[in-house]
């Protein structure tokens, strides 16, 4: 190799390294952007699920207060929670196609939420708790409700 060829080769090395580094930088930027989008979607999905849990917790709190006292003022959190549930579940359904959550999982959650609401409504029929209350039925409903909420949280 001539001296001229060697000089050109030495001067070309930084250029080749610069081009390779540029391609690597662009590729890593794309991967970082994809990771950021996935993280944002996961956050929004978790937030929607948390809103569903808060709605159910509010409904449960109101129901328990009503069952213990018979005071209908305790049903306010129940009605507010039940009122928000459809919108929060719709948000969850809307987010599921863009995340790893599948449609059957959301449908299963919807079924469990409906079951929980039904249990709450059945529990309200036993209000207020007195000496005449069927405690076995109340205990069964409370246990079933707790088990349903545990499945929802998983």
Q: Quick one: pLDDT at residue 112? A: 97
Tokens 């001539």: give the residue. Answer: 2
User: pLDDT, tens digit, for every residue of 89-118?
Assistant: 999 988 887 666 677 888 899 999 999 999
Phi, psi at residue 19, to the nearest 5°? -65, -45
Q: What is the pLDDT along the chain (154 residues), one digit of tens a residue?
A: 788 888 888 888 888 888 888 888 887 888 888 888 888 888 998 999 999 999 999 999 999 999 999 999 999 999 999 999 999 999 998 888 766 667 788 889 999 999 999 999 999 999 999 999 999 999 999 999 999 999 999 8
Q: Quick one: pLDDT at residue 99? A: 64
Rg (CA), the chain: 29
Q: Do 99 and 42 contact (CB within 8 A), yes or no?
A: yes
pTM of the model: 0.79
Cβ neighbors of 104 (< 8 A, separation 6 or more) are none
């Amino acid at each position: 190799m001539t001296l001229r060829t060697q000089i050109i080769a030495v001067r070309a090395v930084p250029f080749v390294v610069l081009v390779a580094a540029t391609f690597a930088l662009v590729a890593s930027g794309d991967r970082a952007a994809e990771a950021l989008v996935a993280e944002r979607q996961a956050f929004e999905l978790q937030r929607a699920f948390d809103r569903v849990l808060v709605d159910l917790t509010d409904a449960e709190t109101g129901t328990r207060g009503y069952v213990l006292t018979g005071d209908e003022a305790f049903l306010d959190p129940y009605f507010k929670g039940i009122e928000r549930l459809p919108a929060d579940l719709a948000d969850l359904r809307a987010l599921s196609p863009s995340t790893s959550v599948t449609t059957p999982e959301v449908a299963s959650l919807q079924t469990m939420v409906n079951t929980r609401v039904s249990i709450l409504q059945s529990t309200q029929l036993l209000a207020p708790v007195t000496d005449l209350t069927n405690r076995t039925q109340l205990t069964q409903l409370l246990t079933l409700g707790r088990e349903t909420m545990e499945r929802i949280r998983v």
